[in-house]
Amino acid sequence: MRRVALALILLFVVLLGGAVLVALLATRRPAPAPAPVYTPLPATQRSLADGKIVGFDHPAGGHAWLGIPYAAPPVGELRWRMPQPVEPWQGVREALETGPMCVQKSSSLSGAAEDAEIVPVGQEDCLYLNVWAPRFLAEELPSGKKALPVMLWIHGGGNSLGHSGNSDAARLAQRHGLVVVMINYRLGPFGWFRHPALGPEGLTGVDAGTPGAGLAATDAGVPSELAPEESGRLAEASGNFGTLDMIFALRWVQRNIRAFGGDPGRVTVFGESAGGGNTQVLMLSPLARGLFHRAIVQSGGLQLVRPHRGDAYSDDSPAGAAFSGPEVVNRLLVEDGKAVDRDAAKAMQQGMSREALREYLRGKEAYALLSVYTEGFGPMIRFPRHFADGHVLPDDDVPARELFRDPTRYNAVPVILGTNLDEQKFFMVRDPGYVERRLGIFPRIKDKTTYMAYAAYLSDAWKVRGADDLARVMTAGGHEAVHVYRFDWDEQASVMGFDLSEALGAAHGMEIAFVFGHFGGGSMNAAYLYDEARLPARDALSVSMMSYWAEHAYHGSPGSGREQEQVPWTRWGEDGNRMLILDTQDGGGIRMSPEEMSFGILKQRLLEDATLPGQRARCAMYVRLFRGHAEHWDRAEYEGLGERGCADIDPGSLER
């Protein structure tokens, strides 16, 4: 009887451990612990343009101010409008906790458990930011030439998930004498949305964009070619409200950062994933000119969308996107029971006045609006964004990377571009097509050869889009201050027999914790990932990365790091090298490399690759790599691929 009881206990422990492992592996970030309660510190009182604030002494070092409003709540009549100034407050505002997250679907990025029901969370009143700085008494704040560089972080999440409270910059700020700002910005359809009824009346060129419209007046003193009112009207017609939030946050920095000891003339914008893409957007936007002076793009990628994709019906010519503004209204009308199907909704919408449509859209409850977005990757929704409107963003009908060919046409600040060696594994490890659950619990890679091959192709393609193509174009155009990295760290632990270094490796987002020196908690990486025996090597790599990032913020080049003790990081193409590889000594150490990647190299590799499991897999990889990129997709090449070709396989059947 005792043996049976022990066996049952053992089985329970195994099953419980397996369930925990499943939850951990399914989660990009763990659900955060309850927010700590901080005590206001009088020495942190600062006077901003909108009023006084007080922060706290951060336990990891330095001072912090959380939940500072940088724009008025974009609610009611301010939904889908330019961000507006904050209403000044009286007295001293306590800045002790992160502001509300913007409206999104629940995910691990919002603090929800991965297996929980996906529901709308957050609120529209969400335009808040956090600030970290070294410890200074108010009378000791550095100023003038001694003022500190500023780094403004833009979080990732596909522009539909995430918030500024998911990372902590205290260690980076204190260690290297930086002022770090992290912002919220409107997400999903609240951040990017076009509908013909929403554009300001009496403005010509609203639907098509207005080429060459010039700059808006900014607080940085940039000359304006348009009256501010006209520039604002053009911006509101763009549909790029999330981008405008970021620009407004940069203007907030120009007005207020001296109160924290920051230098408004040395601002670095940096971000990861969608945040990296948004950093590229700011480099392209004439409205952001002069508001920042360096950039770091981590695992970025950018595709601009023609305006008609946002404000036309899907059966128009040219066609709007499946979730264009008019198609979203169709879905809402059906959901409300006002129309029986899409055709009836379209007819009803076309009969509504401009005023009625505006009132209907701005009157919809936020969660009801978000709920009609039913397609995407888990809680991450599909929607058109980054509209090439001709005012906020260039309206050239070319691939986004081509806009970086002429340094006079974008904000050609010194830039770091980089990706991770195993970007795609973050997505693949969650895909039941690649990873099975034995006994419904224990994760195992189904076919390691296929898993590794697919991960390598798709991750290298990310490197092409996110780093190498941009570096080639920028340097060919004469922009010399371009540095590239690849993050190779893949020394995770094994958990219950599942080798995370193999399944995840240097996956998407893994570098964020290294940049901030913050592992576990609210950072991108949970504590269970790390092998305790390898923590010293992990932490040493983090120290090096923080040093490079800080030196770039100081001088516009990562050089040999802040203490001049790191491996020299040379520019793209200098001495025949292309990138810095970031890894521990066990992985070869930090080193320069001449390697570069292109879609041409990937095509040749695909032709010669003998490791792929059959011709269908080769055809499928060609489709996944190139079908979404018109300049690289070649139907004849696809049909003649390999010995047998792919002519008898419909490429549409291979898309995932």
Split at pLDDT 50, 70, 90, the class of 204 is very low
- pLDDT tens-digit map of 510-538: 999 999 999 975 445 567 789 899 999 99
**Within-domain flag for 203:** no
- pLDDT tens-digit map of 363-402: 999 999 999 999 888 899 999 999 999 999 999 888 899 9
Q: How far apart are the first and last CA of the chain?
A: 52
The backbone torsions φ and ψ at residue 615, rounded to the nearest 5 degrees and listed phi first, read -70, -35
pLDDT at 550: 98
Split at pLDDT 50, 70, 90, the class of 114 is low
599 with 464: CB under 8 angstroms?
A: yes
Query: Taking 90 as the threshold, does the pLDDT of residue 421 lie above it?
Result: yes
- Exposed/middle/buried for residue 343 (C-beta within 10 Å: 0-12, 13-18, 19+): exposed
Give the DSSP letter of residue 130. E
Measured CA to CA, the distance from residue 509 to residue 110 in angstroms comes to 16
pLDDT at 334: 98
Specify whether 455 is located in the same domain as 506: yes
Give the DSSP letter of residue 324. -
**Within-domain flag for 474:** yes
- Rounded to the nearest integer, the mean pLDDT of the chain is 89
- pLDDT tens-digit map of 155-182: 999 999 999 998 999 999 999 999 999 9
Ranking 219-233, 301-315, 323-337, 425-439 by mean pLDDT, the lowest is 219-233
Specify whether 513 is located in the same domain as 649: no
Q: How large is the average pLDDT for residues 33-54?
A: 91
Ranking 237-251, 435-449, 554-568, 575-589 by mean pLDDT, the lowest is 435-449
Specify whether 493 is located in the same domain as 366: no
Measured CA to CA, the distance from residue 340 to residue 337 in angstroms comes to 7
pLDDT at 438: 84
Higher pLDDT, 608 or 253: 253
Split at pLDDT 50, 70, 90, the class of 609 is confident
**Within-domain flag for 244:** no
Specify whether 558 is located in the same domain as 423: yes
**Within-domain flag for 225:** no
Q: What angle do helix axes 274-284 and 241-256 make, rounded to 10 degrees?
A: 80
Domain that holds residue 340: 313-381
Specify whether 485 is located in the same domain as 560: yes
**Within-domain flag for 550:** yes
Measured CA to CA, the distance from residue 462 to residue 599 in angstroms comes to 10
Higher pLDDT, 189 or 109: 189
Specify whether 436 is located in the same domain as 338: no
**Within-domain flag for 288:** no
Specify whether 491 is located in the same domain as 562: yes
Q: How large is the average pLDDT for residues 581-607?
A: 95
Q: How large is the average pLDDT for residues 235-259?
A: 97
pLDDT at 152: 98
Q: Any bridge partners for residue 69, and if so which?
A: 128
- pLDDT tens-digit map of 625-651: 998 777 889 999 898 887 778 988 998
User: Helices marked H in 351-468 — which ranges?
Assistant: 354-363, 366-371, 425-428, 448-463
Q: How many domains does the chain have?
A: 3
pLDDT at 2: 45
Specify whether 429 is located in the same domain as 538: yes
133 with 262: CB under 8 angstroms?
A: yes
**Within-domain flag for 434:** yes
pTM exceeds 0.85, yes or no: yes
Specify whether 493 is located in the same domain as 591: yes
Query: Taking 70 as the threshold, does the pLDDT of residue 220 lie above it?
Result: no
Q: How large is the average pLDDT for residues 299-306?
A: 95
607 with 642: CB under 8 angstroms?
A: yes
Higher pLDDT, 17 or 452: 452
**Within-domain flag for 152:** no
Specify whether 456 is located in the same domain as 589: yes
Spatial CA neighbour of 595 closest among 450, 474, 491, 488: 488
Split at pLDDT 50, 70, 90, the class of 442 is confident
Split at pLDDT 50, 70, 90, the class of 654 is confident
Higher pLDDT, 231 or 268: 268
Specify whether 374 is located in the same domain as 452: no
Specify whether 581 is located in the same domain as 441: yes
Q: What is the DSSP string of 22-88?
A: HHHHT-SSPPPPPPPPP---GGG-EEETTEEEE-EE-TTSSEEEEEEE-S----GGGTTS---PPPP
Q: Among 381, 404, 439, identify where a domain stops.
A: 381
